Amino acid sequence: MKRLRKRKCHHCGEGFVVSPQNAQKQCYCSVPECKKASRSEANKRWAKKNPDYHKGAEAVQRVQVWRAANPGYWHPKVGRLEPAPLQDDCMAQVVDDEQESAALKYFALQDDSISQALVLLGLISNLTGSALQDDIAQSCRDLHKRGRQVLGTRLGVFADHQTTESHAKTSSRHKTPTARAGPV
């Protein structure tokens, strides 16, 4: 087994283990400042070997060809990109319309009232463009607040200022007598 050789970094002077893939040429360690110095030194060597690369008609022609091949490279992109959602994209599922409509045909009225929440959820998701639960919850709160503003009400109060019972987070609810069929 070969012994690992250490070299002295040309920038910081510290010893480092040479990468086996680049053992003959590596003169700098992996510290970011040393990498920067290495790149700077390589650029200086290249510029010394190619002094006329950025001068003259040939350079102008080369730049014009490159700019024609890459239009808009220096211009900022129009509009900001939307931030990526915090969850992975789901694969689109193909829905069989005939099967779906056949299933919807036999819903009872109470089943339809249960699906109203799903319809509302889908509508809000479609309007906001987000399927994240936190975004939909915030949109619901905003829509509820907007609805109260339209009706001119406060939380738990109708427009004619009659108080109503809020069933949102109450433990004591008024009990209504149950209807019972009597003898005819």
Question: Mind listing the pLDDT tens digit for each residue in 128-137?
Answer: 888 888 888 8
- Is residue 92 included in any domain, yes or no? no
- Is residue 95 included in any domain, yes or no? no
- Is residue 48 included in any domain, yes or no? yes
pLDDT score recorded for residue 38: 93
pLDDT score recorded for residue 179: 53
Q: Residue 16 sits in which domain range? A: 6-57
Question: Mind listing the pLDDT tens digit for each residue in 139-151?
Answer: 888 888 888 888 8
CA atoms lying within 13 Å on the CB side of residue 110? 0
Tell me how many domains the chain contains.
2
Q: How far apart are CA 94 and CA 62, in angstroms?
A: 51
Q: Which two tokens stand for residue 109?
A: 């009225």
3-state secondary structure of 151: helix
